[in-house]
Structure 1
Amino acid sequence: MKAPEVLKETADYIILNKPAGVLSIPDREQSAVSLKDMLIRQFGQIFTVHRLDRDTSGVIIFAKNENAHRYLSQQFEARTTEKYYHGLVTGRVYSEEGLIDEAIGEHPSKKGVMTVVRKGKPSLTAYRLLQAFPQFSWMEFRIMTGRTHQIRVHMKHFGHPIACDPVYGDGQPVFLSALKKNYKLGKNELEEKPLLARLALHASKLVFEAPGGEIVSIEAPLPKDLKAVLQQLGKQEIAR
């Protein structure tokens, strides 16, 4: 695995720009090398503060010692950190901003799948519409709670699942031919490759208090696949 971009590193913690498709921490099957595995090899010991879904890219922080781990973990548990995401959702969203306040719990019959359920854990997601296109909308999310698959579940409930989501959406890749009129394959292409074939969600920004009291605000640049889709969508007439 290619080493991910280091966004910030101190004696207490390291912040990475996680690539999509990479595990944050090892799974039960040890199916692939995770970021934590890679960091353990580098530092000898490392501590998990939070995690991102395998196909979500962006800002992730690991602690380098027990004191920093305790200090940072308490903030995540107390919800004093600020966590922002960017995501492409299916369909045109009309409301400029809003708050989704819907409890989330495990699906009664589908293992590993979460759903909006009355007796679930309180879950809050604030959203803001950044750009609207005929087929998709580019959104910013801030999560005030850290439930499993929270943004994905809330956006499905909202009627606009995250693009390419195989669990909470249709899982269909985004192809240029669907966005561009009169699209033609290149001379040496036998079939069209998708512009985007993974969950269109990116952890864009994290704000937290570092050990010692410094307020740290760190952002992860968008990966190439999301940039490419936005560039093509930007050529369409804006739907707003």
Structure 2
Amino acid sequence: MNIKNSIIQETDDFIAVNKPSGMLTIPDREGKPALKNFLQQAYGEIYTVHRLDRDTSGIVVFARNEDTHKQLSQLFEGREVEKYYQGLVQGKLLSLSGTIDAGIMEHPVKKGTMVINKKGKASVTDYEVLESFRFFSWMKFRIHTGRTHQIRVHIQSLGHPIVCDEVYGDGKPVFISSIKKDYHLSKNEEAERPILSRLALHSWKLKFTLNGKEYELEAELPKDLRALLQQLRKNA
């Protein structure tokens, strides 16, 4: 991975990176390569502030010194960071905007899977439909809490899981043939390739104030999501 191409902003205090989908934020027990490894190779010692799910793309911020690590961690824990995501969900929503306020806890049987439960930790997600298509909706989310799989669990509870979500949805990839009515395979193709086969969720924007300075960081949408949106708009 060429880490320099993924840098959103770099200061003496922190590095903000646009993480690709499929990459871990920090190493797991199996020792798979993670974003933090690549940053350490390029910058030396860095400190983990928060994480993204492996399959979610977008902004991750790492601190470059202990003092900033403490400050940023307190901002995230104190809910003083505005966190915005964009994503594609299945179907059309009845309400174009709203707030989901529902506790989330780990599934009692399925480890690593979360469920909505009154006994769960308080979890609040604002949502807004930005564009509607025949079978999908392109949405903006703001999360006021940072629970594991929060957006995925909350939006699935409305009956509109994130596209390609294998845990909370059907996990099916998206093919152009399902969007374009007169689609035909080219002569060189034996089978159609999916236009998207990963979780359609992107950590888009972070806003926070550090040492008296306001930051608004934005991660460009990855090529695969841009391509899918282009096809959806073209064939709307």
TM-score (norm 2): 0.97
User: Could you tell me how far apart the structure 2 residues matched to 1:74 and 1:24 are?
Assistant: 19
Correspondence for 2:215? 216
Correspondence for 2:25? 24
Q: Could you tell me how far 1:2 is from its partner in structure 2?
A: 3.3
Task: Give the match's secondary structure for 1:134.
Answer: coil
| Count of aligned pairs between the two proteins | 235
Corresponding letter in the other structure for 1:153: V
Corresponding letter in the other structure for 2:153: V
Q: Could you tell me how far 1:170 is from its partner in structure 2?
A: 0.4
Q: Could you tell me how far 1:213 is from its partner in structure 2?
A: 1.2
Please give the per-residue CA displacement for 1:132-190, whole angstroms capped at 9, x wherever unaligned.
Answer: 11100000000000000000010111110000001010000000010111211111111
User: Could you tell me how far apart the structure 1 residues matched to 2:161 and 2:200 are?
Assistant: 10
User: Could you tell me how far apart the structure 1 residues matched to 2:29 and 2:120 are?
Assistant: 25
User: Could you tell me how far apart the structure 2 residues matched to 1:159 and 1:2 are?
Assistant: 38
Correspondence for 2:235? 236
Correspondence for 2:8? 7
Moved over 6 A (4+): none
**Aligned: 1:72 with 2:76:** no
Q: Could you tell me how far 1:98 is from its partner in structure 2?
A: 0.1
Correspondence for 2:52? 52
Q: Could you tell me how far 1:217 is from its partner in structure 2?
A: 0.2
Q: Could you tell me how far 1:40 is from its partner in structure 2?
A: 1.6
Corresponding letter in the other structure for 2:126: A
Identity of matched residues, %: 57
Q: Could you tell me how far 1:236 is from its partner in structure 2?
A: 3.1
Q: Could you tell me how far 1:28 is from its partner in structure 2?
A: 1.4
User: Could you tell me how far apart the structure 2 residues matched to 1:6 and 1:205 are?
Assistant: 14
After TM superposition, the structure 1 = structure 2 runs for residues 71-90 of structure 1, keeping only pairs within 5 Å, are 71-90=71-90
Correspondence for 2:154? 154
Correspondence for 1:38? 38
Q: Could you tell me how far 1:235 is from its partner in structure 2?
A: 2.1
User: Could you tell me how far apart the structure 1 residues matched to 2:135 and 2:124 are?
Assistant: 26
Task: Give the match's secondary structure for 2:108.
Answer: coil
After TM superposition, the structure 1 = structure 2 runs for residues 118-129 of structure 1, keeping only pairs within 5 Å, are 118-129=118-129
Please give the per-residue CA displacement for 1:36-66, whole angstroms capped at 9, x wherever unaligned.
Answer: 1111222221100111111111111000110
Task: Give the match's secondary structure for 1:192.
Answer: coil
Correspondence for 2:167? 167
User: Could you tell me how far apart the structure 1 residues matched to 2:37 and 2:235 are?
Assistant: 42
User: Could you tell me how far apart the structure 1 residues matched to 2:38 and 2:90 are?
Assistant: 34
Task: Give the match's secondary structure for 1:234.
Answer: helix
User: Could you tell me how far apart the structure 2 residues matched to 1:219 and 1:55 are?
Assistant: 18
Please give the per-residue CA displacement for 1:78-137, whole angstroms capped at 9, x wherever unaligned.
Answer: 001000000000011131210000000000110100010110000000000100111000
Correspondence for 2:143? 143
User: Could you tell me how far apart the structure 1 residues matched to 2:162 and 2:229 are?
Assistant: 14
Correspondence for 1:201? 201
Corresponding letter in the other structure for 1:23: L
Corresponding letter in the other structure for 2:24: L
Unaligned segments of structure 2, at least 5 residues: none
User: Could you tell me how far apart the structure 2 residues matched to 1:41 and 1:114 are?
Assistant: 34
